[in-house]
Amino acid sequence: MATSSARKDLLRRFVVVISSVLASLHVGLIVAYFCARWLFGNSLWLVDAAAYVLPWLFAPSFLLLPAALICRSRLLTCGAAAPLAIFLAVYGHLYLLRWPLRTAGPAFTVLTYNVLYTNEDVDAVAVEIERLTPDFFGLRELEPSMAEALDARFAERYPHRRVEPGCGFWSRYPVLSYEAFHLVEGQGTWAQQLVLDVDGREVAVLSVHPRSPPVYDIPLTELPAVLPTAFPNRERDADLRGLLLRLEGIAGPLVVIGDFNATDQQGAYALLTRRLRDAHRESGWGMGFTFSDWPGVGPALWRIDYVFYTPDLVALSAGVGDYGGSDHRPVIARLAFRAEQ
């Protein structure tokens, strides 16, 4: 009996030591990231890249904390609880209840969806759009064959449509004006700017797709993995600067949608939300992940697709749909005009 008790005590001590080491490394990694972000911002590519996976850096704490409680170790409990406290400080607002908002005038539903240029499952994309029933929507990475098929399918429901290479926009509201352009002259993908007549009120809409930062790496010959060596964000940030300049020339209610290739923890997001509000942050619930490199085998891992809007609008609800053959999930938001105070 004594030997069995001693073995259990030895095992518990061993688990506490190993878990304490892991917890210390985990806390150190998270603190190092936030210190580097505070000191250098996006000037360090590693900091910018780490923002893509930041939510998942907290995952070990959800395993270490139960182990700490089982082992009844105060030191380990503190080591595991500290990252969870940081997680709540960073993402806790996404799990709060939202208060009802005062609105005036019509409400409308908008959708943004990167359908993936290699996706040939038109029916899956169309079914997902029909299920979410937006009043207007913008598609990115849209190939001509899918554009033609969707155009024929939605001709009656969305009679007002504009299609450019790589993108398209469909609306049940009349289009009062339209412009196709590049966020940086002669570079990147096409962006679309429209003014819609939403039941007698004008709403400007921008559908954009800033360029994705490439990942440079070298293979590790002894392991089935790679070592990232660079994550240049110059092109993406140039596109976002172009977008910010265009926003300065738009007055009145504005909705900005698209695949931004940036998470809500990157400097690009902070610049956008100085002028715009994020529908998911204001009225969604949970992490709202929209993108995965492996959509067929697991859940989305990052949130890089957004519905933004100016403060003269409010978000009544926001959520995400299913992949529909893409590597992105569509983002759907219901917006309304803000009531004057």
Angle at 190 between CA 212 and CA 138, to 5 degrees: 90
pLDDT of residue 102: 79
Three-class SS state of 284: coil
Three-class SS state of 215: coil
Among candidate residues 301, 341, 337, 334, the one with its CA nearest the CA of residue 317: 334
The dihedral built from the CA positions of residue 135, 141, 144 and 150, taken in this order, carries a sign that is negative
Domains located in the chain, CATH noted: 2-94 (no CATH), 103-338 (3.60.10.10)
- Mean pLDDT in consecutive groups of 10 residues from the start of the chain, 341 residues: 65 68 80 89 83 88 71 69 88 87 88 96 96 98 96 95 97 98 94 97 97 74 61 89 94 96 92 95 95 81 96 95 95 93 59
Could you tell me whether strands 103-114 and 136-142 are parallel, antiparallel, or unpaired per DSSP bridges?
Answer: parallel
User: What is the rounded radius of gyration, in angstroms, for the C-alpha atoms of the chain?
Assistant: 23
pLDDT of residue 220: 57
pLDDT of residue 161: 96
Token pair listed for 267: 């400097």
pLDDT of residue 48: 87
Backbone angles phi, psi at 298, to 5 degrees: -170, 180
